[in-house]
Amino acid sequence: MDGRLAMSQFDSSVSAFDCDILRSAFIKIVIQKNIPEDKWRAEAELLIREYTDSDDIEPGLAEWIARK
């Protein structure tokens, strides 16, 4: 599936540009903190919460950000 197509399915308050920023930041955080793969989704959710200042998280967005 094309990443841009997948991003269009998420909450409209998070733009495609936001998704790219979140994904890039997530990759850097995982590398810098050496986060194990089983903790990636929780880290992605935390990043989304901090970025959007909201506890409402589109599950598909967290999964897209945390994918390999």
Q: With the CA atoms of 56, 54, 1 and 39 taken in that order, what torsion angle do they form, in degrees rounded to the nearest 10?
A: -90
| Residue ranges covered by each domain of the chain | 3-66
Q: How far apart are CA 16 and CA 38, in angstroms?
A: 26
Q: How far apart are CA 62 and CA 68, in angstroms?
A: 12
Instruction: Please list the ranges in the chain whose pLDDT falls under 70.
Output: 1-12
Cβ distance 22 to 43 under 8 Å?
no
Q: How far apart are CA 34 and CA 31, in angstroms?
A: 5
- pLDDT score at 14: 84
- pLDDT score at 5: 44
Residue 12 is given by DSSP the state: T
